[in-house]
Amino acid sequence: MPKPNQLHFGKVAVLMGGSSAEREISLKSGSAILTALKESNVHAEAIDVSIDVFEKLQAGKYERAFIALHGPLGEDGCIQGGLEVIGMPYSGSGVMASSICMNKLMTKQIWHGCGIPTPKYRILSDDLSEDELLVELGLPMIFKPVSQGSSIGMTKVNCKAEIASAWASALDFEEAVIAEQWIEGPEYTVAILGGIALPVIRLETPRTFYDYDAKYQSNDTQYHCPCGLSEELEQQIQTRALQAFDATEATGWGRVDVMLDKDNQPWFLEVNTVPGMTDQSLVPMAAKAKNISFNELVIKILQTSFKEDSETLANQFSSPVSGKCSAA
């Protein structure tokens, strides 16, 4: 595999910002990525994505794109599809996988078909009674907009009286909402890079769950890496996370979120195909545990824009969990 300075990245556009509810986080991620690329002597420039982004890319004679967009229109296959049309290579997953992973419902349906454990759920509709929902999922449960990231619009429901307000909060962001069985236990996340699973991180917050404030604003959130699990259990979770990632056809890099119940049974929640890259972000934290600096990580992610090379990154450093896994 060529060293980064031997690769012809050319002029790179770091796509950031956009119009989703995660705009501010995207701007932070993009700025950190841009700095890392420049420090690595890559010719990179920032583009705050707007309706004329593809015209800007062509007029600027950019040769590839580093996608640092979070949320709808940036992480859901839309920007990826446009880049395909103009023939510009880009980092991370393709159109289909991006669309699948941005949609929590679609992801869960695929996992259910593959036998990958994911919490029970119901699609909310006007003809679904609250009593029926309680019978199926029990209490507590959590309401989630289907296609939002960063836990935006999510609410834990502890009693029947909270259902209406939780649904209304989710509807502020989109019409498609699911209610999901609440899994009681610690939350973990598994970063994926070039076909391998990086060390598992355990998330700890005094808040009800790992919500937007816990992710980006709170000083009380703790991140544990090593995660505190036995080596055997951590490898089991890594292997299953790779299966969950592969089942959606995601490629290059990403992050898989998982809960562990009292019986040490993992329950997979979602795949993030463009995780945050801020100073509080989880993928850089997991990479650091493998002695991969932030700048090195950014170069490895950009290297996934060479699609023929994106699955060979695993050969650059050792891991007990690597390679493609078929969901079973």
Rounded Cα–Cα distance for residues 315 and 9 (Å): 20
Q: Which residues are catalytic?
A: 22, 150, 216, 255, 257, 270, 272, 276
Residue found under tokens 């391998």: 196
What is the rounded end-to-end Cα distance, in angstroms, of the chain?
Answer: 31
Strands, DSSP E only, in the chain? 12-16, 44-48, 64-67, 121-123, 141-145, 155-157, 177-181, 187-193, 196-197, 201-204, 222-224, 253-260, 266-272
Contact of 327 with 62, CB cutoff 8 Å: no
**Number of CB atoms found within 10 A of residue 22's CB:** 25
Q: Are 249 and 110 in contact (CB under 8 A)?
A: no
Give the distance from CA 76 to its chain's centroid: 11
Asked whether 263 and 210 are in contact (CB, 8 A), the reply is: no
